[in-house]
Amino acid sequence: MKISLLFLIVLFCGSCAGYRVSRFTTDPVKIGSPKELVLKKYGPPFKINSYNNGNKTLEVLYYKEPMVVARYEYILTTSLTFDDSILVKIEQ
């Protein structure tokens, strides 16, 4: 009886969990990858920002993808920062 009750509680709690699966976490690129590889792997971004930081030119590519978490749909934005066409930072 106790085992059956414990099983039902675990099953109930586990079925409520929502898991996000992003293409940037399931098939990631590594820091230090060239920009051309990222564009080939993920395609064109929806937005590009470029700015100067001292004597460096940084470029940020923004990708968005829909995510379903607990029956709600969200838009997840991932930004990839490049310094001289080399990936230096990934943020979600």
Give domain status of residue 6, yes or no: no
Q: Where are the alpha helices (DSSP H) in 1-92?
A: 2-15, 23-26, 35-42
Summarised one tens digit per residue, pLDDT across range 36-58 is: 999 999 999 999 999 887 888 89
- Cα distances from 55 to residues 59, 62, 84, in angstroms, run 13, 23, 11
Domains identified in the chain, total number: 1
Q: Any idea what the CATH number is for the domain that residue 78 is in?
A: 3.30.1450.10
Q: pTM to 2 decimals?
A: 0.72
Summarised one tens digit per residue, pLDDT across range 9-29 is: 665 655 555 556 777 777 788
Give domain status of residue 29, yes or no: yes
Give domain status of residue 11, yes or no: no
Structural domain span for residue 32: 20-91
Residues 6+ apart with CB under 8 A from 32: 86, 87
Count helices and strands in the chain by DSSP H and E runs: 3, 4
